[in-house]
C-alpha cells in the first residue's frame, strides 16, 4: 500500500428546497440525492482515482448505509479490509439542504466515526507499517488522531494531518509533530487564534506553528491558491483558473492528489502544483467524490 487514510466516511443526504419548515410544519421539497462523502473517504477516493494504492481505516454504522459506503470505496479501488462496523450505531450522515442559490445548510452526525479508536489502528498495524504515508483529518476522536501520530513516528512513516474541521481542543504541539500540516485559512485562524484576513496575517499565523516545531505547513486559500511554509521559506502556488461550479470537497481533492504525488516522486512543490490543478478541475463539476477526475480525465484537463 502507498497511502493509508485513517478517517471518516459520511453519507450526504441532500435535500433541494427553497423553504425550510418551521417547528411543527411539514413541507414538500423539490428533490433529493444521496452522496458518499466524509473527509477521510473523499481524500482516499481522490488518491485512488489517480491510481494510488490506498487503504482506509474507518468505521461504518450498523445500518443500511454501511454496505453502500463500503461498495462505493471499493468501486474506486480503495482497500476496505479495515473499514469495520460499530455495533449499535448509525453511520456518519450529513443532512444537507440546498436552495436554488446553491446555499448549503449542513448538519453533521458523526455516528460510527466517533467510535474509531486506537484499537482499530492496532488491528490494521501490520498493513499500516508497510504504508509510505498516513493521512489524517479531525472527523474522528482526538485520542485516535494522537495515537496515529505516535504510530507514524514510531514506525518512521510520513504523516499528513488535515486539521478539518478545526477542533479548538486540538493539542497543537502534538499536531506539529506531523510531517505536513494542511489547514485551510479558516482552520488556521481557529487553531492559532490569529487573524488571517491578509496574506501577511496568514504568514504570521503560519510562522507561529513553525515556531512550535512544525516542519511543513501547507495552507489552502480557496480561489487564491495555496502556500507552503517551512523554516524561512515560503512557496506560493497560484490557483489554476477555471469556471467554478461547486467548490465543495475541493480541499479533500487537493489533499488526496497531493498525497498521491508526494508518494510518487517526493517533490513537494510539484505535488502542490498537481494538487492545485486537480482541485481546480474538481470544482468545475458538481458534488464531491464524483467531481474528482480519474487519471485520464486529469491528464486531458492538463493538456
Q: Is 229 helix (H, G, I), strand (E, B) or coil?
A: strand
| Stretch of residues binding ligand ATP (CB under 6 A), selected from 26-34, 109-117, 137-145, 240-248 | 240-248
Q: From the CA atom positions of the chain, what is the Rg in Å?
A: 19
Q: What grid cell was written down for 199?
A: 496574506
Minimum separation from the CB atom of position 278 to ligand ATP (A):
8
Minimum separation from the CB atom of position 253 to ligand ATP (A):
7
> What stretches of 60-212 show up as alpha helix (H) in DSSP?
64-75, 118-123, 125-129, 142-154, 172-175, 185-192, 199-211
Does residue 222 interact with ligand ATP by CB under 6 A?
yes
- Please select the residue that binds ligand ATP; options are 181, 254, 261, 292, rule is CB under 6 A: 254
User: What does DSSP say about strands 104-106 and 93-98: parallel, antiparallel, or unpaired?
Assistant: antiparallel
- Please select the residue that binds ligand ATP; options are 37, 92, 206, 239, rule is CB under 6 A: 239
- Please select the residue that binds ligand ATP; options are 55, 157, 252, 258, rule is CB under 6 A: 252
**Span 18-37, contacts to ligand ATP by CB under 6 A:** none
For residues 19 and 102, which CB has a smaller minimum distance to ligand ATP in the complex?
A: 102
Does residue 298 interact with ligand ATP by CB under 6 A?
no
Site track 93-112 with ligand ATP (rule: CB under 6 A), x = hit:
--------------------
Residue 99 designated active-site? no
| Stretch of residues binding ligand ATP (CB under 6 A), selected from 86-94, 103-111, 199-207, 238-246 | 238-246
Q: CA–CA separation, 227 vs 235, rounded Å?
A: 6
Cα separations (Å) of 91 from 61, 80, 284?
4, 15, 29
- Please select the residue that binds ligand ATP; options are 17, 68, 247, 264, rule is CB under 6 A: 247
Site track 156-195 with ligand ATP (rule: CB under 6 A), x = hit:
----------------------------x-----------
Minimum separation from the CB atom of position 238 to ligand ATP (A):
9
- Please select the residue that binds ligand ATP; options are 216, 240, 270, 273, rule is CB under 6 A: 240
Q: How many residues bind ligand ATP (CB under 6 A)?
A: 22
Catalytic residue among 2, 252, 267, 296: 252
Q: SS3 breakdown of the chain: % helix, strand, coil, rounded to 5?
A: 40, 20, 35
Cα separations (Å) of 37 from 134, 197, 198, 287?
19, 29, 31, 9
Cα separations (Å) of 49 from 23, 53, 74, 93?
43, 10, 11, 23
For residues 147 and 292, which CB has a smaller minimum distance to ligand ATP in the complex?
A: 292
**Span 256-285, contacts to ligand ATP by CB under 6 A:** 276, 279-280, 283
Helix axes 250-265, 268-282, angle to 10 degrees: 150
Q: CA–CA separation, 303 vs 40, rounded Å?
A: 29
Helix axes 250-265, 39-49, angle to 10 degrees: 50
For residues 142 and 221, which CB has a smaller minimum distance to ligand ATP in the complex?
A: 221
What number of CA atoms fall less than 13 Å from residue 270's CA on the CB side? Answer: 8
Could you list the active site residues?
Answer: 252
**Binding footprint of ligand ATP on the chain (CB under 6 A):** 184, 220-223, 225-226, 239-240, 242, 244, 247-252, 254, 276, 279-280, 283
Amino acid at each position: 500500500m502507498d497511502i493509508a487514510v485513517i478517517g471518516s466516511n459520511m453519507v450526504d443526504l441532500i435535500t433541494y428546497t427553497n423553504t425550510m419548515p418551521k417547528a411543527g410544519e411539514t413541507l414538500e421539497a423539490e428533490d433529493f440525492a444521496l452522496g458518499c462523502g466524509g473527509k477521510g473517504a473523499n481524500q482516499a477516493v481522490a488518491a485512488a482515482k489517480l491510481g494510488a494504492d490506498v487503504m482506509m481505516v474507518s468505521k461504518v454504522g450498523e445500518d443500511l448505509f454501511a454496505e453502500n459506503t463500503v461498495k462505493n470505496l471499493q468501486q474506486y479501488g480503495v482497500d476496505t479490509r479495515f473499514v469495520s462496523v460499530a455495533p449499535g450505531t448509525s453511520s456518519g450522515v450529513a443532512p444537507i439542504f440546498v436552495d436554488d442559490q446553491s446555499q448549503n445548510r449542513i448538519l453533521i452526525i458523526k455516528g460510527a466515526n466517533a467510535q474509531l479508536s486506537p484499537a482499530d489502528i492496532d488491528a490494521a498495524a501490520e498493513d499500516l507499517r508497510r504504508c509510505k504515508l498516513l493521512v489524517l483529518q479531525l472527523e474522528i476522536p482526538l485520542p485516535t488522531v494522537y495515537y496515529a501520530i505516535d504510530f507514524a513516528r514510531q514506525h518512521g512513516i510520513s504523516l499528513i494531518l488535515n486539521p478539518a474541521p478545526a477542533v479548538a481542543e486540538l493539542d497543537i504541539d502534538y499536531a506539529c509533530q506531523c510531517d505536513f500540516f494542511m489547514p485551510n485559512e479558516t482552520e488556521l485562524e481557529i487553531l492559532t487564534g490569529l487573524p488571517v484576513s491578509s496574506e501577511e496575517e496568514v504568514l504570521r499565523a503560519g510562522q507561529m506553528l513553525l515556531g512550535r516545531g512544525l516542519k511543513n505547513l501547507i495552507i489552502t486559500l480557496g480561489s487564491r491558491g495555496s502556500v507552503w511554509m517551512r523554516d524561512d521559506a515560503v512557496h506560493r502556488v497560484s490557483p489554476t483558473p477555471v469556471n467554478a461550479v461547486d467548490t465543495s470537497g475541493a480541499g479533500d481533492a487537493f489533499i488526496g492528489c497531493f498525497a498521491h504525488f508526494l508518494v510518487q516522486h517526493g517533490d513537494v512543490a510539484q505535488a502542490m502544483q498537481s494538487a492545485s490543478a486537480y482541485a481546480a478541475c474538481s470544482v468545475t463539476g458538481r458534488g464531491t467524490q464524483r467531481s474528482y477526475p480519474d487519471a485520464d480525465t486529469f491528464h486531458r484537463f492538463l493538456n
